[in-house]
Amino acid sequence: MNPPLAVDIAFILLALFAVYTGWRVFRTDSMVRASFFLLLSFIAVGAIMLLLSAMYLGAAMFFMMGVEMMVMALFMVMFMMNPAGLNPMMMVHQHRLAIGAGIASFVIVAAMALLARFPHRPLPADLQEVESLGNELLGESMLIFESAAVVLLATMIGVVVLSSQRGRYGNAGEGSMPPGLDPGGEPAGMPEKDDEDDGGHHHCH
């Protein structure tokens, strides 16, 4: 089965796009942009899944990642403490090691892809892929599917407990202390110590 040329071209473009946007995630100034670049990468991979005729998974990928990256972007804005997440950032540690590890893992996995011999067993022409997935989920693999659901429920409860304001030991914010700007330095940005006031922060309408 030779896929038509158009599919090949689409695949190459989508693959390049997925890698480029995946790379931009760690190279952009704004966190919101970073998470939306990641979303674009996911969308490209989802489209490739559609090309691979995984109709349900491709569409579900758009769906899941749309919501997930939106939440991600919002958390980025909230935690990075800067107006709407529009500050530049290049906050990295162990940079060389990370680059090395990234390249090494790429080389290893790529070598596996190139050197290993996988059987060539394409999709049968009459495969109803959505139907077969549904039968699998609610048939033989019911247990896996259901346990995933239970784990998700447990996660939800755990997450609410972890992040709620009043935990088992009283108010979670009690005695909290911001870190210093440099390791071991004075706590930064505490409201009452805000003496480095600026000229004026007016933005008029």
Partner 1 sequence: MILDQLVWPLALVLAALVLGPYLLAVLDGLVARGLGLTRGPGLWLAPLRRGAWWLIQHTNVTEAPDGRAWRLAPALYLALAAGGLALVPWSRAWVATDIATSLVLWGSIEALATVVIFLQGWSANTHLTLVGAYRYVALGLSYILVSMFVLIGVALPAESLALTQVIISQQELWNVLRQPLGLPLFLIVGLAITFRGPFNLADSTDLAGGTSADVSGAQRLVWEFARSAMLVAFSGIATAAFLGGWLGPWLPGPLWVAFKMLAVLALLAWLGPAFARLTPEHCVSLMWVVLLPLAFVDLIWAGVEALS
Partner 2 sequence: MTLTTVLLLAAALIGIGIYGALSQQSFVMLMMGLELILNGVMLAAVGFWAMSGAGAPEGQLLTIVVMAVMAIEMAMGFALVVAVYRGKQADVTEAIADLRH
Partner 3 sequence: MAVSWLARLAACAPVPVFPALGMRGEEALYRLALSPEIKLVDSPRHASLLLVAGGVPPSMQQALRRVHDQFPAPFTTLWYRSTPLVELPRAAVTTVDSLDALPGALVESHGSLLRNTVGHSPRLLPDAPPHPWQGLGDDGHGGEGMMGGVPYGRPMAMPPTEDLRDGLALDVLTFRLGPFFPLWPPGLEAEVILQGDIIQQFSVQSSPFPRALAPVFHEAREQSVAIAALERARARHHLQALFHALHLAGLEGLARDALRLADRCPSGDIALLAKWFKTFERRMKRRGFFALHLPERGALRQEQAERLGGFAARAAGIDRDARTEDDGYRRLAFATITQQAGDTRARWRQRLAEIAQAFDLAARAQRDDMRTAQTDAVETPRGAWRDSRPGGTSPLLEDLLPGLEWGEALASLASLELAALSPWPREERAETQMGGAA
User: If contact means CB under 5 to 8 A according to the sort of partner, which of partner 1, partner 3, partner 2, none does residue 118 touch?
Assistant: partner 2
Q: Which of 44, 40, 53, 37 is nearest to 12 (CA)?
A: 44
Binds 152: which of partner 2, partner 1, partner 3, none (CB < 5-8 Å by kind): partner 2
Residue of 10, 33, 52, 80 interacting with partner 1 (CB under 8 A): 33
Bridge pairing between strands 170-171 and 166-167 = antiparallel
Residue window 42-81: x/- pattern of binding to partner 2, with contact defined by CB under 8 A: x--x--xx-xxxx-xx--xx--x---x--xx--xx--xx-
Q: For residues 26 and 79, is the Cβ–Cβ distance under 8 A?
A: no
Is 34 buried (19+), middle (13-18) or exposed (0-12) by CB count in 10 A?
buried
Contact yes or no for 45/8 (Cβ under 8 A): no
Assess contact for 180 and 187: CB atoms under 8 A.
yes
For residues 52 to 91, the per-residue mask of contacts with partner 3, x marking binding by CB under 8 A and - elsewhere, is -------------------------xxxxxxxx-xxxx-x
**Minimum distance from residue 190 beta carbon to partner 3 (Å):** 9
Q: Applying CB under 8 A, which residues contact partner 3?
A: 29-30, 77-84, 86-89, 91, 165, 171-173, 181, 188-189, 191, 194, 197-205
